[in-house]
Structure 1
Amino acid sequence: MPLMKPKPISPKLHALIDYGLVGSLLTVPSLLGFSDSVKKLYTAEALALFVYIALTDQPVAVKPLIPFPVHGKIDPFNIGQFALQTFLKPFQADRKARLFNVGFTALASLTVLMTDWHGPTKTNP
């Protein structure tokens, strides 16, 4: 049986992308002048995601409590939530916010699909 080549995004790179996505949720809405309701929603989501990422067992974790493969099972639900919020009134009323949300969802989805969920972590190098 041939060995399967691991996916190109390591746990460390996945976490760095996640932290970058959190940063984008905290900065892009203000830079692009999104409504206060969109900015508040993204701020709450960013804070929740930051905690979840920081507590996942990956090489740049703050405290590795959540196994990395479990993070991989939760991510699709987060992505689904981002996809669905595209249809909320504040996003429908603001084309820039809607496009950002679709792009964010696509990037997060691609990251999940390309991640090696069994790569080295902080507790399992």
Structure 2
Amino acid sequence: MKLKLPLLIVSLFFLVACSPSDDTANVQSIQEPSATNDVVPEVEATAPKAELTPIPMSDSHENGRYFLTSHTTENGVENVEYIRKGNESDAYVKTQIKCSSNKVKKYSADNPAALISADMGDWVTVDPDWTDADSVKFICK
């Protein structure tokens, strides 16, 4: 408890210090979302930089939300990291894929630093209805 109170006070200080000033609070977006655009406006506004590779998804609601951030292969196992852009927050995912057996291990978190020491659990068979099936198909093509 002794540690939580100072941490809370410091957090509140940074929150107040980082809040928008009157000069920037009224800034509006230059680009208005299009009514005919299939991409969710919140996702488009937070779309990752051009250096990330989009992962095509079979579900139109999920398409345009998944982006490959890292991919290496070691001993027949694909080591993959990607980001899923959400409406409220993003998810960072670390996956190992065995293409030959259609098995995966996966861990997701709300920040990329958590992926460093991720415990991805046991190998599981990919269910065709999971979004994982799309990422496995993309990686194992």
Q: Under TM normalisation by the shorter chain, which class is it?
A: under 0.3
Higher relative contact order (CA 8 A, sep 6+): 1
**Structure with a larger share of its residues in helix:** 1
TM-score by length of 2: 0.23
